[in-house]
A and B are shown apart, each in its own frame.
Chain A
């Protein structure tokens, strides 16, 4: 019954006209930018972040969450219609979705993606509401040692998800952690790594760094690809799936939701892994497995349900423990900190309206997406025709003024330049950004918990292995690290991620 009253509180917050409006605005903008080819959710969130800072914390997080699943959804639309995944988590959708579109069934494919995502979103939202409270109660008893170990698990799992070399991913984490420490040391007020600059004494601007490595560096890479290539856009006719289609969607949606929800909770999990696993499972269990790869509606339903479920449940560790499990959640944590909210188990008690309002708004946002996407699909299709050469200068200008507006700081715009160039060069050397941004966000927290743990234990480093929860977490981290370094798994990871590219 507590759940009902909590959800009641959540909906009363989410239905406040302003919050409803920002939820709608977020999903709309997210879809708008997410549909544009070559711009994934990370770039979308990074470039739209500045727009949310003037709002109240609740409205701002509601809008950000809307941007996130809107962009995710927009990515599926591009995947189906032009065979170009807007983001990696909808890459598997291109396999069967685009085939369906080529056979004149773009409408049912889009409907399958939309309905499966909505179903998955509903289940996952309920799951967040059910799981979050007990998890926060456990987390309240966590000391600094447990937090330190938990963050180590989060960082290690970001290595598992990076497609390239493990050593490089570790280096990227270290670079992120070190750059995250820039600024004034909280214990001694000593300036660190500021190179004598007063602008850096508050640390590097997180929004500028995110915009640089995800937005600008991505544009630099896209520019060297096949430019001026006109995409072939499939025609959308007859949106509604037949009764047979609907029947075939039920099983895959349910299985996809279960897989996505479970993988989403895991640190490092989230949408990408979920959709990939769901597709492969469905291919094995489906009666129509021969049709997979040639336009099976199951091959659209399952991964779309899974990536949406995974995207939603990855909020669980972020909301209840304050630990971002992937780069998107790292951006959410960064936004919370800027809003003056300390992410962690106390959010649910200190800001219950924010916590439950955000959860309720996720369901509302999913419902809005259905309305936004299915009847209005014509608008999004016409957006797909905007050539990239026109698009990217606009994005560049928008990123500059957006980042400038956060603190009215021209220095932050120079940080974009530096982050963009560095991100571009590192990407050319096959180094990936998600581990870096996780490290960047977690750097100061990781150090603080390490210091506190050592003070409490009187300088005894064994505290991390003698406290049971911390020990278990560290064992998990070590096992994960060993598994990804096994040669057999390493080869398999390459195959998995190459297929996804």
Chain B
């Protein structure tokens, strides 16, 4: 008997997700009845099924034939990439289209190891020019090409 930690984690996540959704449904949404289903009827079915399945996965993982540990999670890539998207979403208006895309691509470049500044800068410039042409001049997004932060006076 060994523990499959991957399954244990997956089962726990699913069960927790199901439980959260079941709780929200129970609190906020009328269930109704089969003839006249309320907005909570289908969600309560799904979230209950998910809780049951998640719990089953978790319980079965405790009696696994072989021990499986959680693979190492290298956090650098996911964190840097998430930071790049969050920065893009929050700062695009102020930065403007061209600087915003340039900054996003440059920050994303830091997810690579080793980080090589010159190719990263060149690639980021390239994509920024391309996207500015497509989305700024082609699709005409209502975002300034150069944002207000770079304007004086």
Contacts and interface: CB of A to CB of B under 8 A. Distances in A.
B71 A392 contact: no
A421 B81 CA distance: 9
A397 B21 contact: no
B53 to A, nearest CB: 5
Given A174-B50, A174-B53, A393-B120, A410 B104 contact: no
B39 A188 contact: yes
Contact of A171 (B30, B53, B92, B113): B53
Interface stretch (A75-83, A175-183, A353-361, A465-473): A175-183
B67 interface: no
A374 interface: no
A190 B39 contact: yes
Contacts of B24: 193
Interface string B1-38: 00000110110011001100100100011100111111
Interface in B51-92: 53-54, 56-57, 60, 70-71, 73-74, 77-78, 81-82, 84-86, 88-90, 92
Interface residues on B, range: 35 or more
B146 interface: no
Contacts of A458: 35
Nearest to B14: A171
A174 B42 CA distance: 11
A450 interface: yes
Interface stretch (A235-243, A262-270, A411-419): A411-419
Given A390-B119, A393-B124, A175 B81 contact: no
A396 interface: yes
A435 B91 CA distance: 34
A424 B60 CA distance: 23
B126 A394 contact: yes
B10 A454 contact: no
A454 B124 contact: no
A227 interface: yes
B120 to A, nearest CB: 7
B71 A404 contact: no
B105 to A, nearest CB: 4
A401 B54 contact: no
Given A165-B57, A174-B53, A219-B81, A455 B126 contact: no
A175 B14 CA distance: 8
B86 A417 contact: yes
Interface string A294-327: 0000000000000000000000000000000000
B145 interface: no
A223 B112 CA distance: 7
B149 to A, nearest CB: 16
A454 B34 contact: yes
A266 to B, nearest CB: 25
Given A181-B42, A461-B34, A414 B86 contact: yes
A414 B10 contact: no
A-B pairs, 4 with minimum CB distance: A459-B35, A413-B89, A223-B77, A185-B39
6 contacts: A171-B10, A397-B131, A401-B135, A413-B88, A417-B85, A417-B89
Interface of A: 51, 54, 165, 167-168, 170-171, 174-175, 177-178, 181, 185, 187-188, 190, 192-193, 216, 219-220, 223-224, 227-228, 387-394, 396-398, 400-402, 404-405, 408, 410-411, 413-414, 416-417, 420-421, 424-426, 428-431, 446-447, 450-451, 454-455, 458-459, 461
Given A392-B108, A400-B85, 17 more contacts: A168-B14, A174-B14, A190-B30, A193-B24, A216-B85, A227-B112, A228-B112, A389-B112, A396-B85, A400-B84, A400-B101, A410-B90, A417-B86, A420-B78, A421-B82, A429-B7, A429-B10
Interface of B: 6-7, 9-10, 13-14, 17-18, 21, 24, 28-30, 33-39, 41-43, 46-47, 49-50, 53-54, 56-57, 60, 70-71, 73-74, 77-78, 81-82, 84-86, 88-90, 92-93, 97, 100-101, 104-106, 108-109, 111-114, 116, 119-120, 122-124, 126-128, 131, 134-135, 139, 141-143
